[in-house]
Structure 1
């Protein structure tokens, strides 16, 4: 072998030697937990293939088969990208889910493919869990800390998995164990995430990379369970201090003394996912009440505390019988790793924006949107409310005569509209990235139960409460003479008057909501079939508006949880 190697010319020897060393390194890396080289080769190989595919095959034209060819291209590329997310696992799944929440501006193939990411988090064997535990607790085995510890996890996500255990005092707890490769992979994965956003930006000519710093910061925070424990305490404190939510919303306590950066031990709470209609009914739990409380809980975070849960999917919102009040329910919120803290300026402006939307105060709405770098306030209003918005007339509800060629021509022009929509990216409040995510997930949860709650009205009232919080904090005038009692009285009278006017503006929507519910129940009673819920009606109106006014075609599954 050595003589054969020696007979080769120097360039050939260099190439052969490099190939052997590379294959050896690749083989070793493939057997490691983090698999950094293998994962990055997969990422960049597919990234190059994606770019070449688009470069060679994306040729817009008016030919009859142009639309179908472009759709096939989107399908191939979407499958390639999301296959990388699934195979790489870890933070790639989390990053893919972030992109999935923004997929409305991407072709339909991406919207369909992104949905599968939510079931792509395999569990780790107990030997790995045991090693993480020993490393974080000075060699202690789980059996030395807990009297019982279930080896099989009850849940597995992109960053961690959860095991049920029992303390020596008899209390049942949930033990969240971080997957050890996450911290090793994080810097490489986030670098790839930045590159991916830039690739998307170039391919689709859309503003995407401006959000990378903010998203990266919060993804890093989600891997720190000490930070999650602090978030849990802060969320728990807010609900305890909010009179209308105290005891209706519960946050399980954290056992700080037996938690670490990669192991989080919290109180175990038995509950049913908020969207599991069959189990809720089987336990005689009031699903309407549960959803109403859920929407109030997250609305209070957005408009009152400014400390907002970034991932309120059904697995993180549980319902149980109220431990103190007979025939009532209690909503339990878990998994507090992803939170954002709104600035006070943003919180107040967002409250004022919602008030302006319902009072049709276009001057205020346009002023706030302009200060956020948003040029098209009507489009932003529709996105915010997740329903069509028009300052002077209702959006046309009929099905427009739009064929596939019309749709394609609209998609070609939509990029410029989106770029104009967000003119100054530096001014755009980063809080809206996760606030919008929160609202979309909560809306999907409400829809999954048949839209039992008028979500928009509930949120609008909490926006008004958020403004009243500002008034309650200003007890003295600028010269410090007027008494706090007088100031509070004036604030109370003004808030009461504004609430009365505000409620009047919500009346039409409330009537619409109850008419839809009456129609649904009548159809159920007379024909034994379910009709569209209120959220579905709003979804259809919004999809029609986006298609007709902005050229964005939304896949049906995008509106599902």
Structure 2
């Protein structure tokens, strides 16, 4: 029987199984093991509550210190008092970030995953937390091979393991908070990657998730005056985690994504997705082709291998633009650890990237996908009427004039060329605050905005921010990124009868005419007007100061 037929047989068998209860521990354990687990859970809970209380006291004490400083030096002006408050708050941020990082590392598992999730919320958390929790992206501590082999036997059986697998490398090639990956050789000589979920992970998930929710509710109550709430982020985290824990879903995502790229002549051969081996795939185990490559974050190594980073950036942008605007099936976790660069070789004459870790995808409906295409066309062209229509169709009519600011660095009526970076005036900033219904741009604004956006848009926004980070790292420009998205949006906006080439030609004509008018206005207005336009993104709004 061919490998393809074998995979179809195993795939049908796996898919017919009842879905695993992802957030419940169904493993039978002894009384002694249960007692040990309760002790471990008690220690984790006590450590978490203790850290939370220390961080909360840090912020309360920082406010007291700032008030005392103002009272003792009443001769200071308002600006000096503000600086004193900011100084104490910054110190609290720095210490609190280190305490949070220490907690995530000690508790491990879900806490590491939640810390990684928090680190991706640029703008939603202070800079110190983003920087500290960002270190959790580094390699986690791998579990022993004996533990991995025990999981393999539980998942496929000892006899099947002997029949199918010839060798498993002792050292993991990758390890994360939920699973680790080992290179292995099958009996038929194929080299594969085995992604194995950590043992006892499901047992602590339920209590950890409840604990995080309780702490968020407590923080929202303690800091109600600051408008603090990350409930939206916790909901998103729980939903995404549920998906990531089902490796059968990851395998299905992998095959579906590979199918899209294989059928796309522009990206076929440029984007590689590992093939799935269903005979070794279960809810806690996924077996895929082993792909060798250079981690995308190692830019110097890419250059030594003769790879121009700008070429890599181009493939990454084209791939994610196609997923968002054309396929409607989006890989939502494009951090650097999930992309490899495969240079040209004798067997492959084309530079390519490999997409790894397919646990988190978003399946966009056709209505949302087309609406998003029309939204991007309108934002790039600064077409206010089309913007209103697109936002109404997507269920966010009150945000039509904010969407260009959020996505493409400029407000709906800003006189700035695409990709420009400038600062908002205080009047523009106040207008945005009023539109969001908040007193200040901070943690509350992100939650307020997220509550107004469709769930699909929140995931698309997060994915685009991660792609932006990759593009910046590889030396790409914002202007080119926006134009790549616009081109994919025009291609994906297939509701009309006109062919793509005609639609894209007409779009370009309108865009460059609008850019020419903007440049002429800037030249005629003089240099003082050029300080007016835009902020880089909503994230930057919440992390930078503004001109008075």
Whether the 8 Å contact between 1:130 and 1:142 is mirrored in structure 2 is: no
Q: Which structure 1 residue ranges, 5 or more long, are not aligned?
A: 1-26, 403-410, 472-489, 512-539, 556-561
Per the TM alignment, residue 114 of structure 1 is displaced from its structure 2 partner at its CA by: 2.4
Which residue of structure 2 lines up, in the alignment, with residue 344 of structure 1?
366
For 1:433, the equivalent position in structure 2 comes to 458
Report if the CA contact (8 A) 2:376-2:486 is conserved: yes
Segment of structure 1 superposing worse, 387-396 or 115-124: 387-396
Cα distance in 2 for residues equivalent to 1:428 and 1:545? 14
Cα distance in structure 1, aligned partners of 2:315 and 2:539? 30
| Matching of residues 2-401 of structure 1 within 5 Å | 32=37, 35-59=40-64, 62=78, 63=81, 65-119=84-138, 121-140=140-159, 145-202=164-221, 203=223, 204-206=226-228, 208-322=230-344, 327-369=349-391, 372-373=395-396, 375-385=398-408, 387-394=409-416
Question: 1:252, 1:149 → 2: CA distance?
Answer: 18
Unaligned runs of 5+ in 2: 1-31, 68-77, 427-437, 517-532
Question: By how many angstroms is 1:153 displaced?
Answer: 0.4
Aligned equivalents of 2:183, 2:515: Cα separation in 1:
44
Distance 1:501 1:131 in 2: 61
Once the two structures are overlaid, the 10-residue window that deviates more, 131-140 or 373-382, is 373-382
For 2:539 and 2:315, locate their aligned partners in 1 and report how far apart those are by CA, in whole Å. 30
The structural deviation recorded for 1:109 is: 2.2
More displaced stretch, 51-60 vs 184-193: 51-60
Aligned length: 468
For 2:210 and 2:447, locate their aligned partners in 1 and report how far apart those are by CA, in whole Å. Answer: 28
Establish whether residue 491 from structure 1 lines up as the match of residue 498 from structure 2: yes
Larger of the two Rg values belongs to structure: 1
Inter-partner Cα distance in structure 2 for 1:401 and 1:347? 33
TM-score when normalising by structure 2 = 0.76
| Offset of residue 297 of structure 1 | 0.9
2:424–2:535: 8 Å Cα contact kept in structure 1? no
Separation of aligned partners in 2, 1:221 and 1:34: 29
Contact 2:119 2:131 in 1 (8 A): no
Give the structure 2 partner of residue 481 of structure 1: none
**1:436-485 CA deviation, whole Å, 9 max, x = no partner?**
222122211121122279221111111111112x44xxxxxxxxxxxxxx
Q: Deviations over 1:400-419 (max 9, x none)?
A: 999xxxxxxxx973259827
Contact 1:253 1:266 in 2 (8 A): yes
Is the 1:172–1:267 Cα contact (8 Å) retained in structure 2? yes
The verdict on how the C-alpha distance between 1:38 and 1:30 changes in structure 2, with shifts beyond 3 A counting, is farther
- The change in CA–CA distance for 1:398 and 1:435 in structure 2 (over 3 A counts) is closer
Worse overlay, 297-306 or 413-422: 413-422
- Which structure exhibits the higher relative contact order, with contacts defined as CA atoms closer than 8 Å and separated by 6 or more residues? 2
| 2: CA distance, partners of 1:553 / 1:56 | 23
Task: Give the conservation status (yes or no) of the 8 Å contact 1:225–1:264.
Answer: yes
Tell me if the contact between 2:273 and 2:355 (Cα under 8 Å) persists in the aligned partners.
yes
Computed over aligned residues only, the root mean square deviation of the Cα atoms, in angstroms, reads 3.6
Residue 211 of structure 1 contacts residue 430 of structure 1 at CA under 8 Å; is this kept in 2? no
Taking structure 1 as reference, are residues 342 and 544 closer, same or farther at Cα in structure 2, changes over 3 Å only? closer
In the TM superposition, what is the alpha-carbon distance from 1:231 to its structure 2 partner?
0.6
CA distance in 2, matches of 1:419, 1:156: 31
- SS at structure 1 position matched to 2:158: coil
- Is the 1:93–1:158 contact (alpha carbons within 8 Å) kept by the matching residues of 2? yes
User: In the alignment, what sits opposite 1:449?
Assistant: 474
Does the aligned pair in 2 maintain the 1:250–1:333 contact within 8 Å? Answer: yes
Separation in 2, partners of 1:360, 1:34: 60
